[in-house]
Amino acid sequence: MAGIFGLSSLSTTPDLPGGSDKGLHAVLYAGLGVLLVRALAGGLRRRITVTIALAATLIAGAYGVSDEFHQHFVPPRQVEGLDVVADAIGAGAAAFALAGWSIARGRRAPTGERL
């Protein structure tokens, strides 16, 4: 979150191929989604449920909203609703991919159950 905050504090951003920054938003928030899922699950070997993936997506989306609000105060940056959509899509895609992987692998909490 600090890294995203730092990037959104820059007055000018590098020019991206294609002219749109939505892909970058999705990639950055996918990373945030992965970190949030692991934190909410309680560790690397813990099972990831759909509830955890949803919670991570909602937290990342809320942070995306607050980040756009922050950008309102950084001249000449602009607030864009589609940035928040890209943030939520990136975080959600990563979070639910991890949940799907966890369900497919049958991971359980290390309490004597199968890992």
Mean pLDDT by 10 residues, the chain (115 residues): 93 77 94 97 91 98 97 92 97 97 75 51
Residue 5 lies in a domain: no
Residue 91 lies in a domain: yes
User: Would you state the structure tokens that stand for residue 27, as one six-digit string?
Assistant: 């990639």
Please report whether residue 69 resides in a domain. Answer: yes
Whether residue 97 is contained in a domain is answered as: yes
Listing DSSP states for 56-67 in one string gives HHHHHHHHHHHH
In a domain, 58, yes or no: yes
Inside any domain, residue 110: no
Structural domain range at position 58: 21-105
Residue 111 belongs to a domain: no
At residue 109, the pLDDT reads: 52
Indicate the number of domains in the chain: 1
State the pTM of this model. 0.86
**Residue 50, domain member (yes or no):** yes
